[in-house]
Amino acid sequence: MKKLSKAAFMMMLALMVVLAAACSSSENEGALGNKTPVSGGAGTNGADAAEDYAFGEDQTFRSGEPVTYSMMYSDHENYPTKEDWRLWSAIKEKTNVSFDLSITARTEYENQKSLLVNSGDAPYIIPKTYDESAFVASGQIVPVSDWVQYMPNYMKAVKDWGMEEDLKAKLREDGKYYVLPGMWEVAGGGYSYIIRKDVFEAAGVDVLGQEANWTYEDFAEAMKKIKEHTGAKYVFSDQFQGNSTLSIAAVQYGVTGGWGISNGSVYDHEKQQFVFANSSDDFKNYLGYFNKLVKDGIMDPESFTQEDDTARAKFFKGDSFVINGNYQQLSDFKSKMQDPNSELYMITQPGGPKGMLQIETSRLENGIMISQNALDDLGEEGFIKMLRFVDWLWYSNEGQTLSLWGVEGETYDLDANGNIALKPDIYYNGVNEGATKQLNVDYGFAGGVFAYGGSTKLKMSKMTEGEKDYFNRILETREPRKLAPPIMATPEESEQMNLISTPLIDYVKTMTLKFITGQESLDNWSNYTAQVEANGSKRYTDMANDIFQKTKSLLGN
């Protein structure tokens, strides 16, 4: 046999390398073309990484060469962006990645996002996205569920925390989702009622002994005792124009209201269909409850129109003894109470006719859209590399801890049990009051662009002892609710439904206020329900159920 020359041998070797690369590319295409809509296939690990970067489940992402990714950044007025934040250098030190930021004021972030996406000029990474629906049809956002199989930490969270049902809420009519949501192992505590515990106890109300079993009716009876004891004009004067209170109470009555009013429909799990809840007997009972609070002089009717500062001032002065809020506000309110003997306490949200239900059910946070520009500019391999960086920063415990707490030994230490202890000269979220520095303002950590999602331990690490107690009381005494399936409408269907729901819900909101404050009598309920149907409530739910029937196979139903 004739021997190959050295040149011929080298040519054959090069050909083999090209063929091997082609096979590898073909395998990747097969994986991309055979995806599951919710969580993708099995995540690959660091052993399969390309030579120029390291990645993997619970492994630090690191690029062999410096790399920069463009990203939108929502600039919060309370902790404005600084170039010398430790956040940026800490990420760079760990990963060799920098950002080319498109910095936009928080109040203009949504408008700027729409402008950049619709013009085709969006940066690669678009975090802090609450609603991606307006961008799906543009073709400028990647259907990221096609790619999550390349994100090992994301996949681990989906599997370990059982997030499959949660993620179905993000599916569009094509059975894909277009945003990587922040994911929590457990749902949050949410909003409830901050009360003057000292006043309640002085009136003979055993708050700690009774609150676990309180329904809204029980809570009203407790507030009656406060009115009798104090002689106050009103016991409860609310902030947020009542929207938080109406939202959380609606859950216990099986309806929607306030911030959570949405389209006024709820999903009936027994009948497996959507119904318009806000013209039901349940809704009448819900409105009747608040109407009675107003008539009995327990709830200030100005709760639904006054500015937040006005409501807070009444609470601080001792003119009222109940206000809706979250635990961060409770911490802030303590220093503003005019009575030095004030003892504030956040009660577990009361139950109601539908049970003793947890208010917060979704474990999903705002999330990250990925621009089509990233795939076009970086190519498939570079795009997957960027996704693996996103996977580390937003979905690994190491990345999430860095985003929230910063650098061990600099901004925090670990105690003997592995718990995070913020450095004493740094303030954050009620910890180290009076410290000279702030974790978000001075270092850039614990900001809304990066720090969302994580394990129960990480979630509780940022809670004060009081908030941990509130959180545990909810988990121990309130039942989780079933998640409603999404209405996976096409853009055209969504537009039709919005045309119905917008004036319909405007009418419901108007009448809600009138019924509660007594401007309209509940004796005229039949007139209200007739007008609700005339405004399209049945047309809306008929459309919702038709869409659900034709798409439910994508949900596994």
Could you report the per-residue pLDDT of 41-78, keeping only the tens digit for each?
A: 434 444 444 568 999 998 999 999 999 999 999 999 99
- The stretch 540-546 carries a mean pLDDT of 97
Token pair 């202890």 is found at 421
Residue 237 backbone phi and psi in degrees, to 5: -125, 115
Q: Are 99 and 68 in contact (CB under 8 A)?
A: yes
Token pair 């959570």 is found at 260
| Reported confidence tier of residue 462, pLDDT bands at 50, 70, 90 | confident
Please give the radius of gyration of the chain, using alpha carbons only, rounded to the nearest integer: 27
Close Cβ partners of 59 (under 8 Å, ≥ 6 residues apart): 45, 46
Residues 464-488: tens digit of each pLDDT: 888 999 999 999 999 999 989 999 9
pLDDT at 553 over 90: no
Residues 112-163: tens digit of each pLDDT: 999 999 999 999 999 999 889 889 888 999 999 999 999 999 999 999 999 9
Of 331, 315, 334, nearest in space to 323 by CA? 315
Over the range 251-280, which residues count as b (16 or more CB within 10 Å of their CB) and which as e? bbbbbbbbbebebbbbbeeeeeebbbbbbb
- The stretch 445-456 carries a mean pLDDT of 93
* CATH fold of 192-357+487-555: D-Maltodextrin-Binding Protein; domain 2 (3.40.190)
Q: Are 318 and 218 in contact (CB under 8 A)?
A: no
Which DSSP symbol is given to 270? Answer: T
Alpha-carbon distance of 214 to 210, in angstroms, equals 6
Alpha-carbon distance of 507 to 519, in angstroms, equals 15
Both tokens assigned to 434: 């009076």
Would you state the pLDDT for residue 51?
64
Q: Are 501 and 264 in contact (CB under 8 A)?
A: yes
- DSSP bridge partners of 408: 412
E-only strand ranges, 334-487: 344-346, 364-370, 412-414, 420-422, 426-427, 437-438
- The stretch 25-53 carries a mean pLDDT of 44
User: Is 389 strand, coil or helix?
Assistant: helix
Of 190, 146, 147, 145, nearest in space to 163 by CA? 145
Close Cβ partners of 253 (under 8 Å, ≥ 6 residues apart): 282, 283, 285, 286, 289, 352, 353, 354
Please give, one letter per residue, the 3-state secondary structure of 292-341. HHHHCCCECHHHHCCCHHHHHHHHHHCCCCEEEECHHHHHHHHCCCCCCC
User: Is 351 strand, coil or helix?
Assistant: strand
Cβ atoms within 10 Å, residue 102:
17
Would you state the pLDDT for residue 498?
93
Token pair 């969504």 is found at 494
CA distances in angstroms from 538 to 270, 277, 281, 530, listed in the order given: 19, 11, 16, 11
Q: Are 456 and 187 in contact (CB under 8 A)?
A: no
Domain-by-domain residue ranges, the chain? 52-186+363-468, 192-357+487-555
Alpha-carbon distance of 174 to 490, in angstroms, equals 9
pLDDT at 367 over 50: yes
Amino acid (1-letter code) at residue 78: N
User: Is 204 strand, coil or helix?
Assistant: coil
- The stretch 256-279 carries a mean pLDDT of 96
Close Cβ partners of 44 (under 8 Å, ≥ 6 residues apart): 149, 150, 152
pTM: 0.80
Token pair 């409105």 is found at 287
Residue 325 backbone phi and psi in degrees, to 5: -175, -175
The chain-wide mean pLDDT, for the chain, equals 90
Would you state the pLDDT for residue 26?
35
Percent of all residues in the chain with a pLDDT value above 90, rounded to a whole number: 79
* CATH fold of 52-186+363-468: D-Maltodextrin-Binding Protein; domain 2 (3.40.190)
- The stretch 341-359 carries a mean pLDDT of 97
Token pair 């910890």 is found at 431
Least confident of 10-24, 88-102, 491-505: 10-24
